[in-house]
Structure 1
């Protein structure tokens, strides 16, 4: 028994005429008659009395009609609710991000997105690179902003921006007197760097830079977040190297000084699951592409 059998039965029961019911259902009368016969065989009872002059419901048919209407109403409700969930998912946007996105991306993109699509439900999740990668692959994030190019058979990544890193130190630090600091002067200097668990890329960029320059940093603190990293410098605990977006965030008793050698650059990528075809993801990527001139063909 299928739902179409119930629809056919209800229409015949309401019309009490196979010809009229067939017209209403846009089907041939012989086919409709066969469908009702098949239904009666499935149910195991006669649902209609049929004569050449009229069609009437049997007592069993009357009871079956009431329940058939309830069943179809419940099925229609189930379809409507499923479609509502699907529509809600189309409008839901779960965005994971590393701190740079708060400063460089969201102020430009989100106000425009809200104006263009006020029905979108946006959830912002501050997560490290590793956690974002896990959630993106499991379908728990729609959009991910990380320092990694995640391009694969499942994930699409787009390059968003590249920014230099800057050297930040307490304003009363002996090295603050230099207009350009000799890189060898950093040897043995107290340093605060991001913890590898929170910022794998920046952590290793700093260590790789020191190794390349042949210097050893005296790491006195590994910061769990960028804000603590910045404030620790302001408290005089040591120096640091961070992405340039942090420059406006440094405290009044910290300064930025250039080195005699160039510091590393760090990249930012936006990623999404290729199987995610939601309207919200598509519109977000379109807007991001317009604002930051993303190359959608670049890997």
Structure 2
């Protein structure tokens, strides 16, 4: 049974006249008769009663008519959906992200992206960098936003953000009154640090900033999210080095000060599978680039 046969059948069922049906279909009458005969052979039942005076649906034809219309509509909808997905007008976009991206323009880019693609289903999952690599490799994410450019060979990445680290201090801390803070001034302070398991790259980078200043930090607490780092600092539990973007989290009790003399940067990368054919990935990247 072919869709073409069903389309011919539904038109003939509406017209109940081979000549008029053939004209609607823009074909001659013989091919229409052949197609109807082939459909009847495929179904195993006579669908029309034909006489010199009239064409009528048989009970089998009446039973097929409603189903045929539904099948043709479903086929049309499937074709439309496939075309929209190929054009990026529909489909899905599965996004992984590290928490700092909430303060680096990702929400604003997604608002614009969703407004331009209302039929696209966007899902967001907060994951650390290593978890995102695994999900991308197993096709459970379409794009990730991570802290590292050290990615498997199957993945591509692009630098999105490069910004300085800043000192995050409790509001009542003596250094909070300074306009800038030298990293070395923090050497005797308890540190709240991003855990190595959550992001080996960031953990190592922060330790390197301290090592450049001649000390190894006294790490009191290790957490998995930047917001947890700032929250603990705001409650007087220690100090931290965080990306400049974390100023935007606006947690009361936390103060941010530029670092004097530190050239190391906090970086965020977009990561996706090199073999991806999802046209929505480059479109989201365009939205992120548009706000620079």
**Structure 2-normalised TM-score?**
0.74
Question: How much has 1:175 moved relative to structure 2?
Answer: 7.2
Which of 64, 71, 95 aligns to 1:68? It is 64
Q: Which residue in 1 is equivalent to 2:74?
A: 78
Secondary structure of the corresponding residue to residue 201 of structure 2: helix
**2:4 corresponds to 1:4:** yes
* Counterpart mapping for 1:1-299 below 5 A: 1-48=1-48, 50=50, 53-54=52-53, 56-57=55-56, 62-79=58-75, 82=78, 90=90, 93-106=93-106, 108-110=108-110, 112-113=112-113, 122-149=122-149, 155-170=155-170, 181=182, 183=184, 189-211=189-211, 215-247=215-247, 249=250, 252=253, 256=257, 258-259=259-260, 261-273=261-273, 274-278=276-280, 281=281, 283-292=283-292
Secondary structure of the corresponding residue to residue 4 of structure 2: helix
Deviates more, 1:144-153 or 1:213-222: 144-153
Question: How much has 1:234 moved relative to structure 2?
Answer: 3.8
**Structure 1-normalised TM-score?**
0.73
Rg larger in structure: 1
- Unaligned runs of at least 5 residues, structure 1: 293-299
Alignment size in residue pairs: 284
- Unaligned runs of at least 5 residues, structure 2: none
| Structure 1 Cα separation of the partners of residues 183 and 79 of structure 2 | 64
Question: How much has 1:237 moved relative to structure 2?
Answer: 3.3
* Aligned residues of 2:100 and 2:226 also touching (Cα < 8 A): no
Question: Structure 1 residues 50, 229: closer, same or farther in 2, change over 3 A?
Answer: closer
Deviates more, 1:235-244 or 1:148-157: 148-157
Question: Structure 1 residues 131, 84: closer, same or farther in 2, change over 3 A?
Answer: farther
Secondary structure of the corresponding residue to residue 219 of structure 2: strand
Question: Structure 1 residues 24, 140: closer, same or farther in 2, change over 3 A?
Answer: same
Question: How much has 1:271 moved relative to structure 2?
Answer: 3.6
Question: Structure 1 residues 20, 262: closer, same or farther in 2, change over 3 A?
Answer: same
Question: How much has 1:16 moved relative to structure 2?
Answer: 4.3
* Aligned residues of 1:230 and 1:251 also touching (Cα < 8 A): no
Deviations 1:37-62 (A, max 9, x none): 323333444445556x34544xxx51
Deviates more, 1:1-10 or 1:107-116: 107-116
